[in-house]
Chain A
Amino acid sequence: MSRSISVAGVSLELEERGSGPPLLFLHPGEGLQPQREWLKLLAEHFRVIAPHHPGWGTSALPDWLMTVDDLAYLYLDLAASEGLEDAILVGACFGGWIAAEMAVRNTQRFAQLVLLDPLGIKISGITERDIADMHAMSREDYVRLAWADPAKGERDLMQLPDTDLAGIARGREAFTRFGWKPYMHNPRLRHWLHRIDLPTLLLWGEQDGIVSTSYGRAWQNEIPAAQMEIVPHAGHFPHWEQPKDFVDRLVRFVNIN
């Protein structure tokens, strides 16, 4: 079900499904897309709490809320207000960046961390790019990089109702607000990843053209208790392209830890 809550004065739209151990899911820049299969499958094992980030869907985006730091504090407040204990923190793409920013601050309410193809850190040299410039390519090229099977990523926008199109436009604008400069990363985050004291699973789409598996290895090297698994036949969004494989791997990881 969908509900609205207020956290730190910010009105958020949130999806809540299933029962079992609590799982906080932070969505990619492309939005939550709860109609895709991943959420139904995940909810068979967990009580999934999945907010639409401020500025996406119908969640509010106040002027003062400008950085991923703000989102990290917002979701730490959300975890407290929802009374989460021993929860699993999952973040994909942009949501992975937010989850990492939360985990370097406070892991008190969480038992495990799962990052799917996260953005957020800088590894290579000053003229090299770790994260593809998604805003300097056509939509067609973006889909080709972000999906192992681009046909699954295409959406015919001309067929969608105005409310959905407005939601897409809002999300694109919000993603830009948070990630334009420095481009989709926090130059200091890498230096704090050592603070993450949770068992961590990095899931990486084998064909991800936005952030590569070698970028994933750099994350693995910086987080003390991190393991990495490659998801075949998936690009930047393994939970959308291979939902069953995603859920199987996540459940296995949670059960072991």
Chain B
Amino acid sequence: MRCWYFSEMAYHPAWEAGLARGTLRVVLPSSNFDPPTAHGLLNRYLDEFALCDEVGLDIMVNEHHSTATCMTVSVPMALAIIARETKRSRLLSLGTPIANRPDPVRVAEEMAWLDVLSGGRLEMGLVKGAPYEIQPANSNPATLMRRYWEAHDLILKALSTHDGPFNWEGEFFHYRSVNIWPKPIQQPTPPVWMTGMSVDTGRLAAERGHVVGPLLSGGTAKPMYDAYRQRAHELGWEAGPDRMAYAAVVGVGATREEGLRRADQIADYVRTAPVVAEPFTNPPGYNSIDANVAIMKAGPRAHRIVKDRQGNPIDHRRATVQQFMDTDTVFAGTPDDVFQQIRDFSIRMGGIGHLLFFGQGGHLGHEDTAENIALFGREVAPRLGELTVEPAAVAAE
């Protein structure tokens, strides 16, 4: 298993204001944002990413918009800095919300540039993006996935074509001369990642051999992993754990109490992230017709609740750290505890090859974050790195 440290670079000083207003995203005005405070935070967060290189961890960066939960507005911008401050860590962009970007060729250029800059350390996530990213981008949710796949195909072709230019006259994107410079070190393209939780996503990712990673989903992602393995099997190959990722909060401490305290503070990120004004949580077309029927039948807001291992509903906004642990969205305790929790989860999912860990989440201070990174990097990640989980057998057809 590879382990990727991850921080959303939160602007937690505005969380109280956001909670009072009922939304941390989209419509929370930037009057709640103090640039000098953010200057300190951004530089601190980047220092924390740089620590990962010293303890053998890989690094993941994502982006969000119009939000107090995440100050990263551009993954390539952050990764460009981190690439210069690290030597060994692989750098995962998870990722660029390509259906919200007007210019896929620009995305391909930026990814190629990062790959060259970092010496071939880039991993390239091409993501659908969260529903509340639709409004800030003003992208049409009803055609989101059609745009996603066209942008995906164009980006991969742009990265892997070296006898260009080529012509592109699609439904959504039009170019007469696609001929990007530089070309990436990793050929034909840097490894491609997707995010998602649905069975459809699992099958579509399998058809392309991409890595797939759900975020904070707990065991509800199992059918997606199974669908991936099943589809790969149908296509004549066996998908191992290296195709499966999972993102969770991790708090490690010298004592169990300390690990839980750190996880509890990081989990404030998970408690605040879903606090979004209702109309932005499910723009029409973002979810399938069947999913929308289920949402309407369940009634307002019910769809935000995940389930623990016993099937009890847990509301992310109000969960205790123990409840989060019961949903496998938080792994916490001593290095031994955390190793065992992650190993057990991986076995239950049929083999996870990548752990994306939220090791900072707003209120966790710098010293705690540095200690969390160091303990995880030195005492948990090496054991997970040696872990081999037999891939789950694919059900007979």
A244 neighbours in B (Cβ, 8 Å)? none
Q: A176 contacts B296, CB within 8 Å?
A: no
Interface size class of A (residues with CB under 8 A): 20 to 34
B391 neighbours in A (Cβ, 8 Å)? none
B285 at the interface (CB under 8 A from A): yes
What residue of chain A has the Cβ atom nearest to residue B283's Cβ? A135
Q: Is the interface of B mostly helix, strand, loop or mixed?
A: helix
Q: A176 contacts B284, CB within 8 Å?
A: yes
B271 at the interface (CB under 8 A from A): no
- CA of A199 to CA of B68 in the docked complex: distance in angstroms? 53
- CA of A192 to CA of B55 in the docked complex: distance in angstroms? 66
Q: A136 contacts B293, CB within 8 Å?
A: no
B277 neighbours in A (Cβ, 8 Å)? 138
- CA of A170 to CA of B292 in the docked complex: distance in angstroms? 9
Q: B297 contacts A137, CB within 8 Å?
A: no
Taking the closest CB of chain B, its distance from the CB of A203, in whole angstroms, is 27
- CA of A166 to CA of B293 in the docked complex: distance in angstroms? 6
Q: Is the interface of A mostly helix, strand, loop or mixed?
A: helix
Q: B296 contacts A169, CB within 8 Å?
A: yes
A233 at the interface (CB under 8 A from B): no
B40 neighbours in A (Cβ, 8 Å)? none
Question: Which residues B55-86 have CB closer than 8 A to chain A?
Answer: none
- CA of A167 to CA of B140 in the docked complex: distance in angstroms? 20
Q: B279 contacts A136, CB within 8 Å?
A: yes
Taking the closest CB of chain B, its distance from the CB of A62, in whole angstroms, is 12
Taking the closest CB of chain B, its distance from the CB of A75, in whole angstroms, is 20
A157 neighbours in B (Cβ, 8 Å)? 296-297
How many residues of chain B get a CB closer than 8 Å to chain A's CBs?
A: 24
Q: A176 contacts B283, CB within 8 Å?
A: yes
- CA of A63 to CA of B292 in the docked complex: distance in angstroms? 20
* Cβ contacts B295-339/A at 8 Å (1 or 0 each): 011010000000000000000000000000000000000000000
How many A-B pairs have beta carbons closer than 8 Å: the answer is: 63
Taking the closest CB of chain B, its distance from the CB of A29, in whole angstroms, is 10
Q: B289 touches which one: A136, A158, A166, A176 (CB < 8 A)?
A: A166
Q: B142 touches which one: A137, A166, A168, A176 (CB < 8 A)?
A: A176
Query: A136-B135, A137-B279, A138-B279 are contacts. A176–B293 as well, Cβ < 8 Å?
Result: no
B280 at the interface (CB under 8 A from A): yes
Q: B279 contacts A169, CB within 8 Å?
A: no
A237 at the interface (CB under 8 A from B): no
B344 at the interface (CB under 8 A from A): no
Q: A172 contacts B279, CB within 8 Å?
A: no
* Cβ contacts B164-187/A at 8 Å (1 or 0 each): 000000010000000000000000
Taking the closest CB of chain B, its distance from the CB of A94, in whole angstroms, is 13
B141 at the interface (CB under 8 A from A): yes
Q: A177 touches which one: B138, B285, B299 (CB < 8 A)?
A: B285
- CA of A216 to CA of B389 in the docked complex: distance in angstroms? 67
Q: B289 contacts A174, CB within 8 Å?
A: no
* Cβ contacts A171-187/B at 8 Å (1 or 0 each): 01111110011000000
Q: A170 contacts B289, CB within 8 Å?
A: yes
Question: Which residues B135-165 have CB closer than 8 A to chain A?
Answer: 135, 138-143, 146
A165 at the interface (CB under 8 A from B): yes
What residue of chain B has the Cβ atom nearest to residue A63's Cβ? B146
Q: B140 contacts A176, CB within 8 Å?
A: yes
- CA of A160 to CA of B297 in the docked complex: distance in angstroms? 8
Q: A176 touches which one: B141, B146, B279, B290 (CB < 8 A)?
A: B141
Q: B285 contacts A136, CB within 8 Å?
A: no
Taking the closest CB of chain A, its distance from the CB of B171, in whole angstroms, is 8
B297 neighbours in A (Cβ, 8 Å)? 157-158, 162, 165
What residue of chain A has the Cβ atom nearest to residue B289's Cβ? A169
- CA of A32 to CA of B280 in the docked complex: distance in angstroms? 26
- CA of A180 to CA of B138 in the docked complex: distance in angstroms? 8
Q: B293 touches which one: A66, A169, A174 (CB < 8 A)?
A: A169
The contact sample of 23 A-B pairs, CB cut-off 8 A, is: A63-B146, A63-B171, A66-B143, A136-B279, A136-B280, A137-B279, A138-B278, A158-B296, A162-B293, A165-B292, A166-B289, A172-B284, A172-B285, A172-B292, A173-B142, A173-B285, A174-B142, A175-B284, A176-B283, A176-B285, A177-B143, A180-B138, A180-B140
With A162-B293, A170-B289, A173-B142 given, can you name 19 additional A-B contacts, CB distance below 8 Å?
Answer: A135-B283, A135-B284, A136-B27, A138-B277, A138-B278, A158-B296, A162-B297, A165-B292, A165-B293, A165-B296, A166-B289, A169-B292, A169-B293, A176-B141, A176-B285, A177-B140, A177-B142, A177-B285, A181-B138
Which 4 pairs, one residue from A and one from B, show the smallest C-beta to C-beta distance? A177-B142, A169-B292, A172-B284, A176-B142
Q: A-side interface residues toward B, CB under 8 Å?
A: 63, 66, 135-138, 157-158, 160, 162, 165-166, 168-170, 172-177, 180-181
